[in-house]
Structure 1
Amino acid sequence: MTNQEKPFSDISPYDSSEFHEKISHLVKGPGFEHAVKWVLKDIDYADFCNQLLLVKDGNTFQKEIMMPFLELLVAKTTSGLTCNGLGNIDTSKAYTFITNHRDIVLDTSFLNLCFLRSGYPTTEVAIGDNLLIYSWIADLVRLNKSFIVKRNLPRAKALDAAKELSGYIHYAITEKNQSVWIAEREGRSKDSNDKAQDALIKMLGLGGNDGFKQNLMEINILPVSISYEYDPNDYLKAREFLLKKNDPDFKKTQRDDLFAMETGLLQPKGRVHFEIGTPINPFIEATTENDDKNVIAREVCQLVDCQIHAGYKLFPINYVAFDQLLNTNQFSDKYTQEDVLNFNNYISEQINKIDEPNLTDSDRDYLHEMMLTMYANPLKNKITAENKCKNEQNKD
């Protein structure tokens, strides 16, 4: 079968028959060389390229190339990467992992590192084509088991693209027995108020050959919660909120996206934790047979939200932010005065990184409020979810 005849060949990861050709092309590009030397300052690039040229497939690429690189990032930019709930995964099955979204690059990279450390199968990764700014980035991510999500299409083409994407996810799960990852919504939730989008669930139900509910059950949705102690992009997100507040037509540039990727990769993140939930098929199956897809999609979103919110790992920074935002001392037993001082200094330093001319005192107050909101929202949502999820599960 030729490349043109392969199912979903324009969006799927590269397979072993394409690997050598694509890597050979990748390592010759000046953009890739510049990026590697920027991130890995002391690397012997020629030796690195020779290692790449020996890689035969995506799994080997992740184990031999990505895993050492990610372990280096964990050591240099975090205070530890932890994962709980691996026992909820049956390694003989494929899943659709749905997570909240904090970092453009590292959310799934760190999740896959958790799997690699434990000998679990890694996932394929959904990535928006808006981030494939250069051709070498597109090649790199498809070598690294990523599949492409087509964004910003005219309405006439958007449905076809959604059907293709859903079809590929169903194909990966049912034919390849390959798990996939996708974020709960298009783009990151800038204020950390993570909510699954109905549109995502409806897209997932387009693939398959049965009814909407059966199509969703076919892909084994399993929510995963991601918690970063510090978000290196927090001040960039606050800046974006401010610019949109002052100019509703403000749009990020490709340069903004590249800088956000670089910042997320290289700057400190504190502790990072993944909490793997439980498959939601039993709850989907319990929904009323006569419910239409709008009702089912909303209920599935609520199931995903409950597990993600309840699974947050909270840090002193979250409790301090909550109390300062709401002017309370409700959680004062969760932090020390040193924690408060460190948090206040951190927020001030991050806001001072925002290079915008003519910032007013009102602008700075708004930036400060948005930074507090980002760190308080996980706690707000966890408080709600811990009661709501228990009640929902007890009903079933």
Structure 2
Amino acid sequence: MGTFDAIRPYADSEVSAVLARLCNDTEFLDTLTRFRLPKLAGLFGWALRPLVARRLRREVQGIDSVAKLQARIEPYVDRTIERATDGISYSGLEHLHKGRRHLYLANHRDIVMDPAFVNYALYHAGHRTPRIAIGDNLLQRPFVSDLMRLNKSFIVHRSLTGRREKLAAFQLLSAYINQSILQDDESIWIAQAEGRAKDGDDRTDSAILKMFHMSRKDEAFGQVIDELSLVPVSISYEYDPCDLDKARELYTRATTGSYTKAPGEDDRSIAKGITGYKGRVHIAFAAPVRGASDDAKQLAQEIDKCILGNYRLFPVHYLAYAMWEGREPELAVPAANELFGAEELARAQAEWDRRLTACPAEHRPWLVVQYATPVRNQYRIRNARPL
């Protein structure tokens, strides 16, 4: 057994066998049936399952490598983006060198679509797609694990409780990330902190940065970061399909002190994040970090300035900020009508009003904070104020 077999993505030599397994996985076929034929799946799922399996076998026939699988999936990703967004834009790709691998460190709002949009931008710009870090909490079912590992995902063990086990898992993860970039010639995508920033406050966890260094402790921290070619990435959604769910969770935590996920909640969040309306999406790639500080907390602050400063603010963010009790007058944030045209602003106001109306009154402050916080953060940077 290889050192990284427990966490690594599937290799090309394993693709055919895993696809064959998925074509016979009852739970996966039932999930596909519900997704493609929701009105018929309840009563006739048992009869439709063989038809779905036959169609799936045709779709994956001849696929014997990860690259071929991604090429086959790409039209479906394009179609999903067309249906669920008003377009995706990206900037900063000129900072990336096609002959060099990078460590993409991104803010985190959506479980699946964050890395998917980064992949989309890189793929269409002619760059190789990265290996993707995904928490083991999302891989409770075997077919989900198979799907993610087929698509270049590797596993981050978050469910461990023992200190020694956690330390060993981080050590292994650090070694895998370093080997991927420096030896395997494969880029990495990983979120800047564990879990999504449900309140819109994107911050880099210095523990993540320290983890990159764990397997190379005999070298200077800043040197390791420079060699990994760390690229801060800002992922900006005009609208979050899961914003009402996040508002409910934030409200529950604030009023009770805790929040317990219901069975299947992550699955529903994944589905909603993929298919729900997002408006416009922007992906901003910063230049790779050079001359990194040997202080992980200081480096985290510099990365935060980069990610928050490159975040694309849409009209809805300014509309939310204007009604936020936590706004800071000294930042002199302009009103939305000073920055956007009347037609664009009217569309944003209508969509924002619709979301506010759909949100229970007691949850609304937590809906507002999700969209307002990125404005505060960016204008703090513009005004050279502490984050």
Relative to structure 1, the CA distance from residue 137 to residue 17 in structure 2 (aligned partners, 3 Å threshold; closer, same or farther) is same
Question: Does the 8 Å CA contact 1:319/1:334 hold for their aligned counterparts?
Answer: no
2:173 to 158, 165, 168: 165
Q: For structure 1, list consecutive stretches of 5 or more residues without a partner in the other structure.
A: 353-363, 392-396
Question: Does the 8 Å CA contact 1:316/1:339 hold for their aligned counterparts?
Answer: no
Question: How big is the shift at 1:254?
Answer: 4.1
- TM-score w.r.t. length of structure 1: 0.86
1:240 maps to 249
1:311 maps to 310
Measure, in 2, the Cα distance between the counterparts of 1:63 and 1:188.
28
Deviation digits for residues 44-63 of structure 1, max 9, x if unmatched? Answer: 65233233242222222112
2:339 maps to 334
Question: Does the 8 Å CA contact 1:207/1:215 hold for their aligned counterparts?
Answer: no
1:179 to 187, 190, 193: 187
Relative to structure 1, the CA distance from residue 349 to residue 32 in structure 2 (aligned partners, 3 Å threshold; closer, same or farther) is farther
Q: For structure 2, list consecutive stretches of 5 or more residues without a partner in the other structure.
A: 39-50
1:361 maps to none
Question: Does the 8 Å CA contact 1:24/1:53 hold for their aligned counterparts?
Answer: no
Measure, in 2, the Cα distance between the counterparts of 1:74 and 1:340.
19
Measure, in 2, the Cα distance between the counterparts of 1:147 and 1:31.
22
Measure, in 1, the Cα distance between the counterparts of 2:349 and 2:120.
33
1:216-231 to 2 correspondence within 5 Å? Answer: 216-231=225-240
Question: How big is the shift at 1:180?
Answer: 0.5
Question: Does the 8 Å CA contact 1:347/1:368 hold for their aligned counterparts?
Answer: no
1:134 maps to 141
Measure, in 2, the Cα distance between the counterparts of 1:230 and 1:127.
23
Measure, in 2, the Cα distance between the counterparts of 1:39 and 1:108.
22
Question: How big is the shift at 1:306?
Answer: 1.1
> AA paired with 1:252?
K
> AA paired with 1:310?
G
Measure, in 2, the Cα distance between the counterparts of 1:95 and 1:163.
20
Question: Does the 8 Å CA contact 2:252/2:258 hold for their aligned counterparts?
Answer: no
Question: How big is the shift at 1:343?
Answer: 4.4
Identity in percent: 30
Relative to structure 1, the CA distance from residue 41 to residue 80 in structure 2 (aligned partners, 3 Å threshold; closer, same or farther) is farther
1:345 to 341, 353, 359: 353
Measure, in 1, the Cα distance between the counterparts of 2:63 and 2:157.
28
1:191 maps to 199
- TM-score w.r.t. length of structure 2: 0.88
1:58 maps to 66
> AA paired with 2:109?
R
Relative to structure 1, the CA distance from residue 193 to residue 121 in structure 2 (aligned partners, 3 Å threshold; closer, same or farther) is same
Measure, in 2, the Cα distance between the counterparts of 1:239 and 1:178.
39
Measure, in 2, the Cα distance between the counterparts of 1:270 and 1:88.
26
Give the total of aligned pairs: 363
1:146 maps to 153
Deviation digits for residues 154-187 of structure 1, max 9, x if unmatched? Answer: 2120000000011100010011110000000000
1:94 maps to 101
Question: How big is the shift at 1:349?
Answer: 3.9
Question: How big is the shift at 1:345?
Answer: 2.0
CA RMSD of aligned residues (A): 2.2
Question: How big is the shift at 1:33?
Answer: 1.7
Question: How big is the shift at 1:350?
Answer: 3.5
Question: Does the 8 Å CA contact 1:280/1:303 hold for their aligned counterparts?
Answer: no
1:37 to 33, 38, 54: 33
Deviation digits for residues 94-152 of structure 1, max 9, x if unmatched? Answer: 11100001111110011101111122110110000000020000011000000000012
Question: Does the 8 Å CA contact 2:118/2:283 hold for their aligned counterparts?
Answer: yes
